[in-house]
Amino acid sequence: MKAIRIRKTGGPGVLEYVEVDAPVPQKGQVIVGTKSISVNYADVMIRAGLYPVMPPLPAVLGLEGAGVVEDVGDEVSGIRKGQRVSFIAPGSYAERVAVDSAALIPLPDEIDFDAAAAFPIVYLTAYHLLHTLGNIRDGGWILLHAAAGGVGTAVIQLSEIARAHVIGLTSSKQKAARVSDLGLEYVFTYDRPTVVEDVMKASGGNGVDLVLDSVAGPNFDRNFDMLAPLGQVLWFGFAGGLPADTLLQAFGKHFVRGVGLRTFHLTYSITEPYPEIIGRSLGTIVTYLREKKIEPVITDRIPLSEAARAHELLEGRETVGKIILQP
C-alpha cells in the first residue's frame, strides 16, 4: 500500500510517497481503509523534528482520518467490516491504518468522510479548552490566537453555541477578513502595535476571561496584560516557538489579580487517563455535527501523494481551517 513516510526530519522535501507493507490487525485492533486524512500542525512539527513527543524513525506521518473498516482483530466487539468510522491514531497518512478499537468513532450516515476526518482532534481540543479547563460562561470573553486555524475555527463555532464572545488574532489581513466571515465581530492581526489596547477596548475595558494560545513565541507575555481579574491563559501549542525567559516575571506582575496559566495537550491530558470524559464530549460533538450546529472548515483537498504541498500551504499560514489528504 502507499503511505507518506519520513526517514529523517526536515522541510517538506523529506516527505516520501512510498510503498510499505499493509498493516495486520493485532489484538484489539481493526484495519481502516482510509477515505479522508486530516492534516494537523502537529504533523508539520513532527516532520520538522520539533514536536515534544517524536516517533521513532522511519515513521508514517498523520494522527487522524476516516474510512471503512476492512479487517477486525481478536478481542474487538461492536465493530464490523464495512462500518464507516473516524479515528485518532498515528500513521494515518496511508491507504490503510491499524487502529485500536477504543480510538474508533462510529459515523452516522449524515457525516461525510472529509468532515469525519477533520473534526476529532480540533473539536475535542476546542471543546475541552472551553468547557473542561475554561469553564466558559454565557457572555464570557475569549481571546483566540490562530483564529483561522483548525482549532480556531472549531472554537469559533463552539463558542457561538456556548454564547460566549470571541476576539480573534490572525497573521494577516486576508485571514482576518476570512475569519470575520465566520461570524467574529473583532479580529486583529498580531503586528498591530495597539493590539493589547484593541483587545481591552473590544472586551469592554475589563479584559478577557480566557486566552487560548497555540502560538506562544516571544510575545506570549502580553497575554497576561489582556486578562480580566481571575482570568486564565490556556497554552496548548507553540507554533511560534517557546515563550521568552521573562514568562515568570510577567506572570508575577499580575499576581494580585488572580490570573492563571495552564497547559493542555489532548492526548496526554485527557484521552488516555480520562476516556469517560472523551466519550461524553465526543457524543456531544457528533450530535452537533448531525444537527448541523457545527461544520468543519476545509480549505483544500489534496491527493495523498502531494502531502508535501499540503505542508507547504499550512506552513505558509494562509490557510483557513483544515486541509484534507485523499488517498
Most confident of 92-96, 243-247, 317-321: 92-96
The answer, yes or no, to whether the previous bond of 58 is cis (omega within 30 of 0) is: yes
Q: Which residues pair with 324 in a beta bridge?
A: 38, 301
Evaluate if residue 268 carries a pLDDT over 90. no
Q: What is the pLDDT of residue 135?
A: 94
Q: What is the pLDDT of residue 271?
A: 67
Q: What is the pLDDT of residue 293?
A: 96
85-110 average pLDDT score: 95
Mean pLDDT of the chain: 93
Cα 224 from chain centre: 23
One-letter-per-residue 3-state SS of 64-83: EEEEEEEEECCCCCCCCCCC
Q: Which residues pair with 3 in a beta bridge?
A: 18, 94
Between CA 266 and CA 159 the distance in angstroms is 18
What is the share, in percent, of the chain residues with pLDDT greater than 70? 99
Evaluate if residue 272 carries a pLDDT over 70. no
Cβ proximity of 28 and 76 under 8 Å? yes
Q: Which residues pair with 325 in a beta bridge?
A: 37, 302
Q: Which cell numbers in the block locate residue 161?
A: 453555541
311-325 average pLDDT score: 91
Q: pTM of the predicted model, to two decimals?
A: 0.94
List of domains in the chain: 2-119+296-326 (3.90.180.10), 122-267 (3.40.50.720)
∠ CA 214-216-221 to the nearest 5 degrees? Answer: 130
Q: What is the pLDDT of residue 255?
A: 82
Cβ proximity of 63 and 38 under 8 Å? yes
∠ CA 116-119-122 to the nearest 5 degrees? Answer: 160
Answer positive or negative: Cα dihedral of 275, 277, 279, 281: negative
Residue 175's nearest CA partner among 164, 187, 159, 160 is: 187
Evaluate if residue 101 carries a pLDDT over 80. yes
161-187 average pLDDT score: 92
Evaluate if residue 252 carries a pLDDT over 80. no
